[in-house]
Amino acid sequence: MMEYPKITGVDAIPIEIRGERAFAISEGQTRTHKSVIVRIITNEPNIDGVAEIVCAPPGKPEEIQHEICGALKAIADSALVGVSAENTRTAQRIINERIKGKVWTKGGLNVALSDLRAKALGVSCMSMLGVHAKDAKVPVIGTVIGIMHPDQMADRARELLDRGFGTLKIKVGKDVSSDFERVRCVREAVGDSVNIRVDANDHYSPEEAIKFINKIEHLNVEHVEQPISRYDILGMREIRKSVHVPLMTDDMVSTPFDAMNVIRLDAADRVKVKVTKHGLDGAIQIISMLSSAGKRAVLGHVFETGLAAVAEAHLAMLFPDIVGPHEIGSMEPLGVADKLLRENPYCNQGYITIPEGVGIGVSVDWEQVENYKVNLSF
């Protein structure tokens, strides 16, 4: 009988990647990307599970980073030690018992466990999910245009179009009038053949959202994402009844139960699914639920490192019929490229390749991780 590696600990490495330009959404702007690299260690030096845990709002990124590391510290010397790398169900149960809430932390840990199990079995995550493909690549957006003056956003749109991006995602969330100008200028800059997705990041009231969405309807927008508060699902339902542009919810869905509420209330046409938030297991469950109900999923988190992007791409191969291109991203919004991985998964601006190695398939450059590392006090 094969002896699988045993878990011996969990490392949490907070990192910060500094950008060359600011990136703005309705909640403010940033020049840095903060996250936590989690590493599940075993008694076999070459077998571990690695993932990125994103410091997602609400809250200040540095405070979220501190909370994530605190939660991981609490399980580092827990009952996880001694669990077989192949027995990830037991490990996930222990994590769920020890960590309450903190959806993004548990989602990242689920990805790390999936990476670990696939490595222990000697296969890729994609193969473990039942997909077998060589030279696999998936179409991605790769970036997002932050809030700027409408003319600046139009210039960025032209630049991205020249670089091969065929679908653009733009941020809005200031006021109806100026946001309309942002969408109008981008559409005018790129012509009618380019898909435009709009994300308001919870900014509007339901009344403002209806006014804004109806105003941009003739601009042929693919969908409008999270126009109102993530906590107002009934407001989303009312907006959907009043507009003809498809609605997508993002932050409203943290669990499969949340997805069921969206389905039950018919509150959105699409749901954003993020491996970094839902984990591979949760994402599969949510996408399957949406598909059964005739709803569409959009996969990805447009602001993430290559480590998270490749994990998202593995799941994309399992569901080839979900809405593409996927909103799998990079550090491009900050004007930089992260160097966490020894390989570059972006074969060009419109696709991401899936490495053929075991697990997620990437080789983390741990020296570069140390360069990005920040010190937190507990």
Same-domain check for residues 330 and 226: yes
Q: Taking the C-alpha atoms of 252, 258, 263 and 269 in order, what is their torsion angle to the nearest 10 degrees?
A: 20
The residue-averaged pLDDT of 263-283 equals 95
What one-character-per-residue DSSP string does 169-230 give? EEE--S-HHHHHHHHHHHHHHH-SSSEEEEE-TT-S-HHHHHHHHHHHGGG--SEEE--S-T
Same-domain check for residues 76 and 225: no
Same-domain check for residues 116 and 144: no
- Rounded Cα distance between 43 and 56, Å, is 32
On whether residue 292 sits in a domain, the answer given is yes
CATH number of the domain enclosing 45: 3.30.390.10
The residue-averaged pLDDT of 48-54 equals 95
Q: What is the pLDDT of residue 322?
A: 85
Percent of the chain at pLDDT > 70 equals 98
Same-domain check for residues 101 and 166: no
- For the stretch 365-370, contacts whose Cβ atoms lie closer than 8 Å and that sit 24 or more positions apart, written own/partner, are 365/339, 365/340, 365/341, 368/339, 368/340, 369/13, 369/15, 369/37, 369/340
> Per-residue pLDDT for 1 more than 70?
no
Residue 272's nearest CA partner among 261, 293, 285, 286 is 286
Q: Kindly report the pTM of this predicted structure.
A: 0.94
Query: Tokens 């999270």 — which residue?
Result: 226
On whether residue 200 sits in a domain, the answer given is yes
Q: What is the pLDDT of residue 207?
A: 97
How many secondary structure helices (H) and strands (E) does the chain include?
12, 11
On whether residue 359 sits in a domain, the answer given is no
Range of the domain at 20: 7-122+366-372
pLDDT band at 349 (very low <50, low <70, confident <90, very high): low
Percent of the chain at pLDDT > 90 equals 68
Number of structural domains in the chain: 2
- Rounded Cα distance between 109 and 95, Å, is 8
The CA radius of gyration of the chain, in Å to the nearest whole number, is: 20
The residue-averaged pLDDT of 290-319 equals 91
Q: Which residues are 361's β-sheet partners?
A: none
Q: What is the pLDDT of residue 351?
A: 85
Q: What is the pLDDT of residue 359?
A: 94
> Per-residue pLDDT for 49 more than 80?
yes
On whether residue 2 sits in a domain, the answer given is no
Q: What is the pLDDT of residue 218?
A: 96
- Rounded Cα distance between 197 and 205, Å, is 20
Query: Tokens 């790129």 — which residue?
Result: 190
CATH number of the domain enclosing 232: 3.20.20.120
Same-domain check for residues 172 and 98: no
- Rounded Cα distance between 319 and 297, Å, is 10
pLDDT band at 116 (very low <50, low <70, confident <90, very high): very high
Same-domain check for residues 114 and 173: no
On whether residue 17 sits in a domain, the answer given is yes
Q: What is the pLDDT of residues 145-196, one digit of tens each?
A: 999 999 999 999 999 998 888 899 999 999 999 999 999 999 999 999 999 9
The residue-averaged pLDDT of 337-357 equals 82
The residue-averaged pLDDT of 23-33 equals 89
Same-domain check for residues 205 and 340: yes
Same-domain check for residues 174 and 230: yes
Q: What is the pLDDT of residue 250?
A: 94
Q: What is the pLDDT of residue 301?
A: 86
Same-domain check for residues 118 and 249: no
Average pLDDT over the chain, rounded to whole?
91
pLDDT band at 208 (very low <50, low <70, confident <90, very high): very high
Q: What is the pLDDT of residues 59-83, one digit of tens each?
A: 788 888 999 988 888 887 677 899 9
pLDDT band at 205 (very low <50, low <70, confident <90, very high): very high
- Rounded Cα distance between 188 and 212, Å, is 18
pLDDT band at 112 (very low <50, low <70, confident <90, very high): very high
Beta 7-25 vs 247-249: how paired, if at all?
Answer: unpaired
Same-domain check for residues 117 and 142: no
Q: Taking the C-alpha atoms of 107, 129, 123 and 359 in order, what is their torsion angle to the nearest 10 degrees?
A: -20
On whether residue 129 sits in a domain, the answer given is no
Same-domain check for residues 167 and 252: yes
Q: What is the pLDDT of residue 378?
A: 55
On whether residue 239 sits in a domain, the answer given is yes
Between 45 and 283, residue with greater pLDDT: 283
On whether residue 115 sits in a domain, the answer given is yes
Same-domain check for residues 149 and 297: yes
